[in-house]
């Protein structure tokens, strides 16, 4: 029997002679080292026992297994767990103990069989699943490849094309799809799962069903020439879609090795490649992001007080523009009834139409049925006054960035909303104390800053003032979780954490251009680094109106480190306001495709003349590395200030904010994690050098200077006066 420890496997032998081995490691039955050792011990015992004819493997609490324990990655990377090397697990446990056993084994899969969990199941001689079970190999999301034989068994069970899709896209499939593709042998109800698996195992023993060792199956594999074509196409796609990533190409190479040299050679190449990738920066970065994302909802002084989120039955939204309609869409998609308020019938209808269009997009893509579409849209009600706000539990204000307008709205909300109602603002830059200064409800005023488009972008920045009650934060965290957002809780200041941290992103670009760098080279270098778009393409996308409105906030609050460029106002004077007007830093065709605009030179010249800036010949021939550093090091510098002031309490929260709010490449681990890979001394010295030439915009902050002097990482957040 397994040990009495929490993480273990148990074995029970029934009167039918079938041993049921159950994986137990809540919540997802992850395959920690002690679980794997227990599994091996129990399996070997079942093989030795004369009263055991066959074996069924399942997981406790309706889940098969979520895969290898990711928390062990750190120890593996540091070489502390030599006995857990994938070669040992893949060959000795999965292949030699399980697959090569002389007694048939059947996997009974419910809930999830992901990563190592599915790899264990694929080594069984048959698989029975429920229709709702999810089966997949998502290892590439962590910068590694499947390490328990998945690269060899999956192609042999489902064919090369399907296997590549599942692995390279980390795309799980459900039970019915798994059945039609050959990954499982039958789909049954959860109640019949174990019983069917037991009988199936006995049928294999009695030769009534085939005894299949998936590692040696060949009927689903294409002929060698055809297989090479498929693999080469996959390589071309991987290079195109993820040019900075090595591990998808390694995965394809390992699969190819098994096809050319046989599955055993493939297994050993897989183990070797896994070890190499495990120690690479990409894996360390993605594992950091994995845990950082899960840690954002743990907020000291808020989530550890034992508070229970209150039930939010109905939400009201003020403003049906792009943001308001996106937030409304996110809420109704998760079954929250929503009241949408606008100032007149025309604006209200436009807001409702935007929500409808968002849902229709899902309908067209097959993500929603017509029935679900109608039901979801029925949760939205449009109004022109505050009367129906008397019965809501939360309001989210999403109007334009105008201080006096927001102040008036919050004064009105206080009059009409019930005393328990959470009063949230979607402002991206304006100080919440300013917004709520005409009210007596500062304890329930909170920032609920969504990112555009709000029904798509995964981040929710929850902003707390000194007066916001912890209960209100807990309530908004709960709503954020229910509408599938990743929340970060931050303190109150101009721009909060995300926009404040990334404001220098565009500013640095403007400074470089006015001093001689090329707009399009900058965007190209930043895009190549891994950002979805460079600073100038981004400004075109959000619109010059937004850029100027936020710029004014920063000039007023941080004048000593704001680069004041006339370039955007000059463009706006000529009715160029970004992508919406088909002209900004780029020109756009009917399909919104961006092209460089030769006319930009005259605007840059004019801006230089007004600013009195002289061209620096060095900036005209910047390397890609210099461009990346001159754009991002000021962002790192501002992130350090955000940490120093206690606006964010964890550096990891800023990493998630950068990845999920601004599109910073996750395989670089987030803004602070990436900065620490370069070192505080190096970043400080570069900023110091540039500040001597270009002034205060690049001046290193005291937090960065102090870390550099000690050679300490920026992520080491020590005792600072927290704004949380």
Whether the predicted pLDDT of 723 surpasses 80: no
Q: What is the pLDDT of residue 82?
A: 53
Q: Kindly state the tokens that stand for 649.
A: 């309490």
Going by pLDDT thresholds of 50, 70 and 90, the confidence category of residue 85 is: low
The C-alpha atoms of residue 116 and residue 77 are separated, in whole angstroms, by 18
pLDDT digits (tens, 9 = 90+) for 222-240: 999 999 999 999 999 999 9
Going by pLDDT thresholds of 50, 70 and 90, the confidence category of residue 430 is: confident
Whether the predicted pLDDT of 718 surpasses 70: no
The answer to whether the beta carbons of residues 56 and 16 sit under 8 Å apart is: no
Whether the predicted pLDDT of 14 surpasses 90: yes
Apex 353 CA angle, 351 and 358, nearest 5: 100
Whether the predicted pLDDT of 554 surpasses 90: no
The answer to whether the beta carbons of residues 54 and 110 sit under 8 Å apart is: no
Within 132-217, strands assigned E span: 134-136, 173-174, 186-187
Q: Which residues are designated catalytic?
A: 119, 139
Q: How many CB atoms are closer than 10 A to CB 309?
A: 15
Going by pLDDT thresholds of 50, 70 and 90, the confidence category of residue 92 is: confident
Q: What is the pLDDT of residue 72?
A: 84
Going by pLDDT thresholds of 50, 70 and 90, the confidence category of residue 3 is: very low
Total-model pTM? 0.92
Q: What is the pLDDT of residue 2?
A: 38
The C-alpha atoms of residue 136 and residue 172 are separated, in whole angstroms, by 4
CA of 397: how far to CAs of 372, 410, 442, 697, in Å? 27, 8, 15, 33
pLDDT digits (tens, 9 = 90+) for 670-697: 999 999 999 999 999 999 999 999 989 9
The C-alpha atoms of residue 656 and residue 374 are separated, in whole angstroms, by 35
User: How far from chain centre, in Å, is Cα 14?
Assistant: 44
Q: Which of 222-231, 414-423, 488-497, 712-721 has the lowest mean pLDDT?
A: 712-721
Whether the predicted pLDDT of 5 surpasses 60: no
Residue found under tokens 């290892």: 139
Whether the predicted pLDDT of 367 surpasses 60: yes
Q: What is the average pLDDT value for the chain, to the nearest integer?
A: 94
Apex 20 CA angle, 18 and 22, nearest 5: 170
Whether the predicted pLDDT of 717 surpasses 80: no
Cis ω for the linkage preceding 80 (within 30 of 0): no
Nearest CA-CA partner of 143 in 282, 281, 246: 282
What average pLDDT score do residues 387-400 get?
Answer: 96
H or E element: which one contains 396? strand 394-397
Q: What is the pLDDT of residue 719?
A: 47
Q: Kindly state the tokens that stand for 479.
A: 């709503």
Collapsed DSSP state (helix, strand, coil) of residue 395: strand
Burial 404-421 (b: 16+ CB within 10 A, else e): eebbebbebbbebbeeeb
Of residues 544 and 197, the one with the higher pLDDT is 197
The answer to whether the beta carbons of residues 588 and 537 sit under 8 Å apart is: no
Give the pairing of strands 54-59 and 18-24.
parallel
Q: What is the pLDDT of residue 4?
A: 43
> How is 245-296 classified by DSSP, letter by letter?
-SHHHHHHHHHHHHHHH-HHHHHHHHHHHHHHHHTSHHHHHHHHHHHHHHHT
Q: Which of 83-97, 190-204, 324-338 has the lowest mean pLDDT?
A: 83-97
Q: Which of 436-445, 555-564, 627-636 has the lowest mean pLDDT?
A: 555-564
Whether the predicted pLDDT of 424 surpasses 50: yes
How much of the chain exceeds pLDDT 70, in percent? 97
What average pLDDT score do residues 557-566 get?
Answer: 90
How much of the chain exceeds pLDDT 90, in percent? 87
Which stretches within 444-543 are classed as H helix?
470-482, 498-514, 519-529, 535-542
Of residues 664 and 695, the one with the higher pLDDT is 664
Whether the predicted pLDDT of 594 surpasses 70: yes
The C-alpha atoms of residue 556 and residue 552 are separated, in whole angstroms, by 6
The C-alpha atoms of residue 652 and residue 671 are separated, in whole angstroms, by 9
Going by pLDDT thresholds of 50, 70 and 90, the confidence category of residue 308 is: very high
The C-alpha atoms of residue 416 and residue 390 are separated, in whole angstroms, by 6
pLDDT digits (tens, 9 = 90+) for 482-526: 999 999 999 998 889 999 999 999 999 999 999 999 999 999 999
Going by pLDDT thresholds of 50, 70 and 90, the confidence category of residue 1 is: very low
Whether the predicted pLDDT of 80 surpasses 70: no
Whether the predicted pLDDT of 417 surpasses 60: yes
Q: Which of 237-251, 445-459, 550-564, 602-616 has the lowest mean pLDDT?
A: 550-564
Of residues 80 and 436, the one with the higher pLDDT is 436
Give every strand in the sheet of 105-109, ordered side by side. 8-13, 18-24, 54-59, 105-109, 126-129, 186-187
Helices 498-514 and 651-662 cross at an angle (nearest 10°) of 60
Q: Say which DSSP state 497 is in.
A: T
Q: Kindly state the tokens that stand for 561.
A: 């480190």
The torsion angle over the Cα atoms of residues 564, 567, 568 and 573, rounded to 10 degrees, is 120
pLDDT digits (tens, 9 = 90+) for 623-633: 999 999 999 99
Q: Say which DSSP state 578 is in.
A: B
Whether the predicted pLDDT of 9 surpasses 80: yes
The torsion angle over the Cα atoms of residues 703, 707, 710 and 711, rounded to 10 degrees, is -160
């Amino acid at each position: 029997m397994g040990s009495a420890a929490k993480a273990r496997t148990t074995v029970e032998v029934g009167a039918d002679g079938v041993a049921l081995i159950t994986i137990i490691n809540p919540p997802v039955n992850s395959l920690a080292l002690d679980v794997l050792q227990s599994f091996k011990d129990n399996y070997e015992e079942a093989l030795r026992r004369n009263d055991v004819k066959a074996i069924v493997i399942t997981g406790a609490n309706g889940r098969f297994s979520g895969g290898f324990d990711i928390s062990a990655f750190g120890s593996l990377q540091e070489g502390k767990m030599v006995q857990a090397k994938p070669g040992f697990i893949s060959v000795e446990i999965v292949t030699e103990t399980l697959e090569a056993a002389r007694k048939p084994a059947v996997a009974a899969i419910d809930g999830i069989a992901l990563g190592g969990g599915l790899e264990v199941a694929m080594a069984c001689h048959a698989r029975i699943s429920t229709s709702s079970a999810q089966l997949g190999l998502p290892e590439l999301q962590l910068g590694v490849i499947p390490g328990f034989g998945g690269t060899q068994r999956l192609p042999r069970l489902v064919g090369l094309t399907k296997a590549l899709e599942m692995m390279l896209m980390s795309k799980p499939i459900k039970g019915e799809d798994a059945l039609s593709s050959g990954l499982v042998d039958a789909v049954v109800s959860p109640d019949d799962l174990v019983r069917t698996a037991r009988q199936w195992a006995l049928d294999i023993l009695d030769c009534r069903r085939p005894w299949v060792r998936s590692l040696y199956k060949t009927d689903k594999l294409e002929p060698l020439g055809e297989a090479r074509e498929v693999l080469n196409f996959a390589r071309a796609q991987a290079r195109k879609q993820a040019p900075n990533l090595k591990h998808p190409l390694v995965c394809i190479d390992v699969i190819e090795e098994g096809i050319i040299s046989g599955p055993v050679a493939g297994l050993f190449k897989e183990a070797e490649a896994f070890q190499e990738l495990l120690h690479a920066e990409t894996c360390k970065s993605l594992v950091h992001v994995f845990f950082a994302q899960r840690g954002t909802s743990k907020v000291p002084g808020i989530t550890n007080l034992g508070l229970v989120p209150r039930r939010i039955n109905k939400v009201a939204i003020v403003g049906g523009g792009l943001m308001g309609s996106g937030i409304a869409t996110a809420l109704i998609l998760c079954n929250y009834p929503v009241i949408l308020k606008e100032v007149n019938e025309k604006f209200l209808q436009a807001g409702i139409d935007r929500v409808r269009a968002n849902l229709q997009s899902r309908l067209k893509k097959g993500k929603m049925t017509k029935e679900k579409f109608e039901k979801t849209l029925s949760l939205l009600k449009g109004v022109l006054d505050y009367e129906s706000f008397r019965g809501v539990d939360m309001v989210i204000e999403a109007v334009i960035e105008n201080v006096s307008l927001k102040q008036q709205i919050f004064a009105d909300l206080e009059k009409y909303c019930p005393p328990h109602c959470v009063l949230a603002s979607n402002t991206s830059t304006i100080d919440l104390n300013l917004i709520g200064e005409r009210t007596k409800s500062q304890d329930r005023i909170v920032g609920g800053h969504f990112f555009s488009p709000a029904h798509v972008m995964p981040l929710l920045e929850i902003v707390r003032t000194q007066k916001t009650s912890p209960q209100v934060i807990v309530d908004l965290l709960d709503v954020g979780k229910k509408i599938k957002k990743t929340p970060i809780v931050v303190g109150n200041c101009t721009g909060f954490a995300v926009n404040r941290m990334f404001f220098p992103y565009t500013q640095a670009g403007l400074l470089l251009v006015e001093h001689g760098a090329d707009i399009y080279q900058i965007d190209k270098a930043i895009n190549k680094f891994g950002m979805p778009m460079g600073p100038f393409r981004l400004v075109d996308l959000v619109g010059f109106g937004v850029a100027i409105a936020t710029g004014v906030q920063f000039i007023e609050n941080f004048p000593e480190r704001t680069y004041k460029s006339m370039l955007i106002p000059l463009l706006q004077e000529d009715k160029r306001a970004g992508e919406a007007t088909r002209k900004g830093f780029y020109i756009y065709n009917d399909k919104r495709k961006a092209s460089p605009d030769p006319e930009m030179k005259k605007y840059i010249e004019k801006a230089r003349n007004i600013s009195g800036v002289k061209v620096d010949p060095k900036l005209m021939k910047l390397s890609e590395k210099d461009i990346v550093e001159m754009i991002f090091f000021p962002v790192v510098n501002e992130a350090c200030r955000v940490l120093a002031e206690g606006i964010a309490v964890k550096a990891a929260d800023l990493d998630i904010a950068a990845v999920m709010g601004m599109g910073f490449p996750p395989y670089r681990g987030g803004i602070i994690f990436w900065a620490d890979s370069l070192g505080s001394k190096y970043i400080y010295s570069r900023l110091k050098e540039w500040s001597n030439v270009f002034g205060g915009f690049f001046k290193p902050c005291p937090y960065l200077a102090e870390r550099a002097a000690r050679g300490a990482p920026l992520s080491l957040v020590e005792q600072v006066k927290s704004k949380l």
